[in-house]
Chains A and B, each alone.
Chain A
Amino acid sequence: MKKLTDIPCTGCSLLCDDIVIDVSDGSISKVYGSCSHGTKRFKEVLATRLLEAKIFENGITRSVATEDAIDKAVEILSSAEKVLVYGFENSTNETIELGLALAEKIGGTFDTSPSICHLTVPLLEKYGVRIGELEEILDKADFIVFWGANLADTHLRQASRYSVFPRGEIVKTGRENRIVATIDVRKTKVTRIAQHQLIVNIGEDLDLISKIQDAFSQESSTEDDVAGISQLSFATFMHDLKNATFVAVFVGSGVMYSINVDQIIENIVKLVKSISTKKTCTVTPLAENLNSMGVTLISKKKTGFTYAIDFSNGSPVSNPSVTSVTNQLLRGNFDAAIIVKSDIFTHIPRSATKQLLKIPTIALEEIPTLVSEFASVTIPVTLTGLETGGYITRTDGKKIELKPFLKPPKNMFSEEEVLRKILSKI
């Protein structure tokens, strides 16, 4: 038995890099330090993985060699007029770059699953607000805000590994020196660890942001309730906010469910910018999938846009109300799709799903999903972080190098290798 230390976990976008794993005879026997999501990734994915490439043709599914499946994928992509290149939120940075290159080469549309990062990153750039790096927050943040973020469902170790409980260089006693505030439309499990539990009325986030802004800049306090929050709760929250030295705001996917999500995120970023004039204040989006932040940052760097990027006219264009996957599927724009490690059926409405089922689809997947079930070509790929290395961008934008430790099955390629082969053959 081999004991491996400091293995980065690929269970979520936190990429906790302190995992210890016992490996014997090519299988994982024990995982130390990972949460239940990480443990599921390490232990269950090996048992449920896809092993055979398949082609569905004339109503029959047949197992084929991986190379034959790749050739079939090339045939579909080459003969298509307009291709959807979708997914990559669970892929390595190297694979994301290849996905963008493929979309550009074939004049397709590159899109990915919805993420808070898509909206936050451009606004941070626009207003000159920096993303809070997790290690800096661990060391220095004495006021932490979780906005629409239920860590107990999404990022289980965020509070224990990076923000609330660890003892930092400046915040030496950890939890005892930190004030935690949760802002949400309901009570969640994470409110248990917060001193300030602000339950905001549905649809009144903007009102709350505006009141915080006023109270912060005018040194005055409201005498009324704010967006459903009692005057006393709001006043004590503002008192602690004003006395803090380093404020770290984490924005979760809960904000995405608001109708005016763009405005809310923009106003949160503007509020953070305003607080930054008097003390250190950062924003960190909590990326929903392993590499949602990587897809966002790489797409932004390469094309200037974060999602729904259309290459039909040669140069990249993004206008989500026209170029997003759902809108284009509903208009019947695509005649083929390649989906990389993403369960698109859970991201788009049923009406768009029906359109997707009408066109030939190529799926690159590690495990069985609805996509691999219905795809015309299914190509199994090696397990990222377990069998294949590369870089993943953590939720705060830091690149983390993976440390693969298992041997992949014979004749199975990584997602990166499959895309390289497809690109070279088209």
Chain B
Amino acid sequence: MSFAIKLLQREVTLEQCTPLFNDPKYAENLKQLQELIAPLLSAMQTLIQIDEDKCIGCGNCVIACPANVAIEPAVAKGINPRTTDVVFTVEDGKIKMLNLDKCRRNPPHRLNCNICEIVCYSEAIKVIA
């Protein structure tokens, strides 16, 4: 399981599992695995688009974001972040991206999270891939 997690996090490659390549009996498994991880290998960075003009500053994305809560636990209680360490915040009534690199769509998590897009009232956030 550890190898599988590391594989998903791009810390190891499929080639490092030598039996898969050396033993013909795993050929079918190898083929399936290669198909399974192909989209992951081709994935780019977070690919989040924000339209500030549409944003109404409701803060749904800021409070719902699991990364924001992990970085600043007070956000869990609905409080707008007080530090600039979080992924995003609300400033002057608009969403402001502070640290996109901390978004869970980025390594090491590389999760297909789109909670910010789902909870946005005004469709100001779009995850484009």
Which residues of A pack against B, CB within 8 Å? 5, 18-20, 30-40, 43, 138, 151-152, 156-157, 159-162, 164-167, 174-175, 189-190, 192-193
Contact = CB atoms under 8 A, between A and B. Distances in A.
Given A32-B91, A35-B93, A39-B93, A160 B62 contact: yes
Contacts of B56: 35-36, 152, 156
Interface in B26-85: 55-60, 62-64, 69, 76-80, 82
Nearest to A168: B77
Contacts of B60: 159-160, 164-165, 193
B105 to A, nearest CB: 19
A275 B71 CA distance: 39
Given A165-B64, A192-B119, A160 B93 contact: no
Most buried by A among B82, B92, B94, B122: B92
Interface in B83-126: 89-94, 118-122
B123 to A, nearest CB: 8
A190 B78 CA distance: 18
Contact of A39 (B57, B62, B120): B57
Contacts of A175: 64, 119
27 contacts: A5-B82, A19-B80, A20-B80, A31-B93, A32-B89, A34-B57, A35-B59, A35-B90, A36-B55, A36-B93, A38-B57, A40-B93, A43-B92, A151-B121, A156-B56, A157-B78, A160-B58, A160-B59, A160-B63, A161-B78, A165-B78, A165-B119, A167-B69, A175-B64, A192-B118, A192-B119, A192-B121
B64 A160 contact: yes
Contacts of A34: 57, 90, 93
B119 A152 contact: no
A263 B28 CA distance: 68
A321 B128 CA distance: 55
Contacts of B79: 18, 33, 161
Interface residues of B, number: 27
Nearest to A163: B78
A30 B91 CA distance: 7
A35 B58 CA distance: 5
Nearest to A32: B91
Most buried by A among B56, B58, B60, B64: B58
A33 B92 contact: no
A156 B57 contact: yes
Given A20-B82, A152-B122, A189-B121, A166 B63 contact: yes
Nearest to B61: A160
A162 B78 CA distance: 7
A166 B120 contact: no
Contacts of A161: 59, 63, 78-79
Nearest to A5: B82
A167 B57 contact: no
